[in-house]
Structure 1
Amino acid sequence: MQSPARRDLIADAAITVIAGHGLRGLTHRAVDAAAGLPAGSTSYYARTRAALIELVLSRLLALDLHDAAVADNRPPSLDGPDDVVALGVGYVLNAIGPQRSRALARFELALEATRRPELRATYDRMGAQLREMLTAVMAGVGSADPPRHAWALAAWLEGAVFEATAGAGGANPPDATELTASLGDVLRGLLATVTARH
């Protein structure tokens, strides 16, 4: 019988391998070594490389939802725009700090998905779940167009993470104060359309 804890351990090791060596370095043997498991352990949980990549994507989604305090596919309870800013800044700081390997692995997989339609479908399906959560969050704080504003919020979040990990800003990543000011500007601009349209 497969163990969920062992599956997560393997997925986490695969994320580390991808972040450190790219998708070319992702092999069952490399994941076994990174996880400290006997040879053949990874292939028991993911027979093919495609299955291993899908395992990684599922794990990345689960971790992102956990970090966003999503329970039972419901968005976190937020009292207003300041809470959204705090949640977003926390996400970025986590992604560019202690969970940097997750961000790098996700970017590697996003690029690979541009060349592999079957991976693109999985990547987009999982990304849609996060977008739905952001849409609910924006609706909850009074957005006049939650889907469009969720897209803008997701673009800011991913752009901030990319800039600070793989982009030109990696040498001088922003701190909490800078991120709070920037995301606050973005969110105020989005929510101002409520007044502008009425």
Structure 2
Amino acid sequence: MVAERVAVLGDAAIEVLAEQGMRGLTHRAVDTAAALPAGSTSYYARTREALLELALTRMAELDEVELPEVQEPVSVAKLTAGFLHASITTGRTRTLARYEFALEATRRPVLREIYDRIGAKYRAQLKASMVALGSPEPERHARLMMAWCEGVLFDSLAGTGAAEPPTLAELERSSEEVLRGIALAQEDVPERQRPR
């Protein structure tokens, strides 16, 4: 019951962040968004830092649920495109809230630690993908790919590209081109069939 209530509050906090920004995120606003009695949010998150942590932790939980399992021979390009497309469409609210957190984390050391800890998991997954693709510099290539993804998301949601965000097909082609550009394009064929 407690976990369910915390999840509801986390979802509501994410919505408030996306719609009203960091200034609009108050305990009262989350109570209203969650359609719960006044004081419900402060019962589970007494301070503003606790409320921010609750929302950020909930975002990470939702992201983990939506991350697809890698099944051979699924290409990294297709997985990347799928993640980006979902973040721009069905996950738009969460992505906008994530931008609010990113900016706030530059001013709050406690939030920075939480934000970086959660983000490190995604960077580790991307680095593992680069290793699997045979990258001679997986750390650098993971950083490059992450930066490209962040750029696409920002442009598609808050930049000039928001008027006409990319389609899934366009994202797949672009992902393939970026990976090919760093000599890491993975073909949808088993390893034993690839040219040596």
TM-score, shorter chain, exceeding 0.5: yes
Partner of 2:191: none
Cα offset for 1:192?
Answer: 4.8
Aligned ranges for residues 42-53 of structure 1 at < 5 Å?
42-53=41-52
Q: Does 1:16 align with 2:37?
A: no
Alignment: residue pair count: 185
Cα offset for 1:78?
Answer: 4.3
Say which of 171, 177, 190 aligns to 2:182: 190
Q: What whole-Å deviation, never above 9, does each CA across 1:102-135 have from its counterpart, x for those lacking one?
A: 0110001101111222221221111111101111
Say which of 140, 160, 176 aligns to 2:168: 176
TM-score, length of structure 2 as denominator length? 0.88
Task: For residue 103 of structure 1, give the secondary structure of its aligned residue in structure 2.
Answer: helix
Partner of 2:109: 117
Partner of 1:79: 72
Structure 1: runs of 5 or more not aligned: 70-75, 194-198
Q: Does 1:96 align with 2:96?
A: no
Q: Is the 8 A contact 2:88 2:156 kept in 1?
A: yes
Partner of 1:196: none
CA distance in 2, matches of 1:52, 1:146: 35
Q: Does 1:33 align with 2:25?
A: no
Cα offset for 1:34?
Answer: 0.3
TM-score, length of structure 1 as denominator length? 0.87
Say which of 100, 122, 132 aligns to 1:130: 122
Cα offset for 1:148?
Answer: 1.4
CA distance in 2, matches of 1:168, 1:138: 30
Task: For residue 144 of structure 1, give the secondary structure of its aligned residue in structure 2.
Answer: coil
CA-based RMSD of the aligned residues comes to 1.6
Superposition misfits of 4+ residues, deviation over 3 angstroms? none
Partner of 1:5: 4
Cα offset for 1:92?
Answer: 1.1
Q: Is the 8 A contact 2:59 2:94 kept in 1?
A: yes
Structure 2: runs of 5 or more not aligned: 186-196
Cα offset for 1:22?
Answer: 0.4
CA distance in 1, matches of 2:159, 2:105: 20
Aligned ranges for residues 54-69 of structure 1 at < 5 Å?
54-69=53-68
Q: What whole-Å deviation, never above 9, does each CA across 1:19-64 have from its counterpart, x for those lacking one?
A: 0000100011110110111111111211111001011111112222
